[in-house]
Structure 1
């Protein structure tokens, strides 16, 4: 197709737009999940699939037929309906579907919604965790399998680094998109132009830094997310000595001054950050993990909310019940998942037009 997606009237839909399904990768990487960590994270995946599969189809990427049979046996222990699962025998490097999966855009043409895939480059957050070549091929795989148009922006971008409200606004962070380990040859203005041209947004709100222990350098989906087109949830901490206090306070200040495309202020909701300091360290030596209620996932008829901390979990669930009254709100214990430095939003990617 000739022209940029914006010239062709495409835009990235917000997460609450009805999905055709959800992309997941079954965990297999022993470097991310050493020893008994792999079995523990498999149990979290069973929780996620169990909660999600009755609301929308799941497209599950597994390396081979042996894994498929093993997973089907695990599904029987939870009475998970295999008819809701489409298995893709496809090699992947890791579980982070949000960051390497296809980022969809849509337009209405002759009264019918059409979808396309934007295929950004993926380099495992600045070449931190090679190899990543199999993950980088996934947008092309989905486009070819489902005969969807594919646009190549020729820029490194992970899905967890952006958040849109469906009405022209995109949230992101300087610590990721302006990091020299992503696109050292592109200026801030050139990066903004790529986002506008390929995702159909008109305004970009730049937060500064992310959470301690976030090996992505500060993804937006651990910090601030849209609850609807005019409301932003952002994480805060009260303790001024907390390692994340200054970054989160600065993010709040930026959001309180931000405007939408019509010049209106956003409503801001806050939730306290759960406990992020862990016993021992993660695989890369961090004493902190990016545990955050902002890493929720909006699907058809349901919102999956990660839970970590008995002090704040119910407060978080109540907020989502208030903003999504027509959807079921399901909390998923995610301490074992976030040990790998990501949570529910990081391992899911919404799919359209398939």
Structure 2
């Protein structure tokens, strides 16, 4: 029987983080995105956990070294985008690492290196690599360590991923490959989420059977109906729901951004929450801090990172202490 992935709050050996390097993915925001990712890496390293910041080449290594402390380890790697939650290895409780196929989030963002980086990180970490034949990104899943996993229909049932697989087929593969014996299906992800609705931007386990979920703030919150639908499904599944505020309406160049405090990164000693210059930032960080009394919680600016399509959780992948 496959041992499930350890929950993110389990002790970790290190955290991999991707460093932005593609100007076309952050038009006008690349320098600030690099600074915000460096701030994330520094905070985790200063908390006492090893950080391995991936950099694309010599020029980006030099830029990263200007921004991070000596406590952050830099590794040159070939990768496209920085979203290691999706392209990095999915590490199971038995010390093996799963890599499914990757197709650039449904064929939208295919970049050289992204299809290989997960296997390379796993092998270099000394993990036994298991490769599977279906398309899956790590941000599409969130598990609580007991065999229960959250996901969304918008992503996992999307015809741009595995059109030949039914819901039952996908549930079978989640159990076979990742040890998840119970799948809680949510519906849509956030408006304009580049990933077709990854659950790590919508709802996250904070303890076995307990989920953090945004509550709409303001009559113009673009995700109010999505949050309400997710809440109903989580309660129907018998899970405990902890309300955290939504950032509300966040726009860039007139377009709604998929901003979410739920895209927090849990590390061994620290929880890092992205903030967006919203009047709800402080309340969002405080609500998440209340769910993790055993570790410090901080908010760090993540608006420039979001301009490239994700947040701190998306840009990182943990190596559990096995």
TM-score where L is the length of structure 1 = 0.86
- The CA RMSD measured in Å over matched residues stands at 1.7
CA contact (8 A) 2:17 2:317 kept: yes
C-alpha separation between the residues in 1 aligned to 2:297 and 2:245? 19
Q: Is the 8 A contact 1:23 1:97 kept in 2?
A: yes
**In structure 2, C-alpha distance between the alignment counterparts of 1:211 and 1:86, rounded to whole Å:** 33
Equivalent in the alignment of 2:92: 105
Q: 1:38 aligns with which of 18, 30, 44?
A: 30
The answer for the alignment partner of 1:325 in structure 2 is 293
Aligned: 1:267 with 2:267: no
Equivalent residue, structure 2, for 1:152:
131
Which residues in structure 2 correspond to 1:249-264 (within 5 Å)? Answer: 249-258=228-237
Residue in structure 1 matched with residue 50 of structure 2 by the alignment: 57
Q: How many aligned positions are there?
A: 321
Measure the CA separation in 1 of the matches of 2:76 and 2:37: 18
Contact 1:307 1:332 survives alignment (8 Å): yes
Q: Which has the larger radius of gyration?
A: 1
Secondary structure, counterpart of 1:323 in structure 2: coil
Cα gap change, 1:88/1:238 in structure 2, threshold over 3 Å: closer, same or farther? closer
Secondary structure of 1:181's partner?
A: coil
Q: Counterpart of 2:191 in 1: which secondary structure?
A: coil
Aligned equivalents of 1:313, 1:350: Cα separation in 2: 25
- 2:107 matched to which residue of 1? 127
Q: CA deviation at 1:326?
A: 2.0
2:240 is the counterpart of 1:280: no
Measure the CA separation in 1 of the matches of 2:257 and 2:181: 33
Q: Deviations over 1:194-236 (max 9, x none)?
A: 1111111110000000111101111101110011112111112
Q: For residue 87 of structure 1, report the CA deviation from its aligned partner.
A: 2.4
Q: Does 1:16 align with 2:9?
A: yes
TM-score, length-normalised on structure 2?
Answer: 0.94
* 1:238-273 per-position Cα deviation (integer Å, ceiling 9, x unaligned): 556543222221111101111xxxxxx322111222
After superposing the two structures, state which structure 1 stretch, 324-333 or 305-314, moved more.
305-314
Q: Cα distance 1:148–1:182, how it changes in 2: closer, same or farther (>3 A)?
A: same
Q: 1:321 to 1:273 in 2, by over 3 A?
A: closer
How far apart, in 2, do the equivalents of 1:277 and 1:60 lie?
A: 28
Which has the larger displacement, 48-57 or 235-244?
Answer: 235-244
- The correspondence for 2:77, drawn from 90, 98, 101, is 90
Cα distance in 2 for partners of 1:184, 1:278 equals 32
Secondary structure of the structure 1 residue equivalent to 2:92: strand
1:66–1:337 CA distance, 2 compared to 1 (3 A): closer
* 1:340 aligned partner: 308
Matched residue, 2:223: 244
8 Å CA contact 2:5, 2:91 repeated in 1: yes
Structure 2 unaligned blocks of 5 or more = none
Take 1:173 and 1:351, find their aligned partners in 2: how far apart are those partners? Answer: 25
Q: Distance in 2 between matches of 1:310 and 1:243?
A: 14
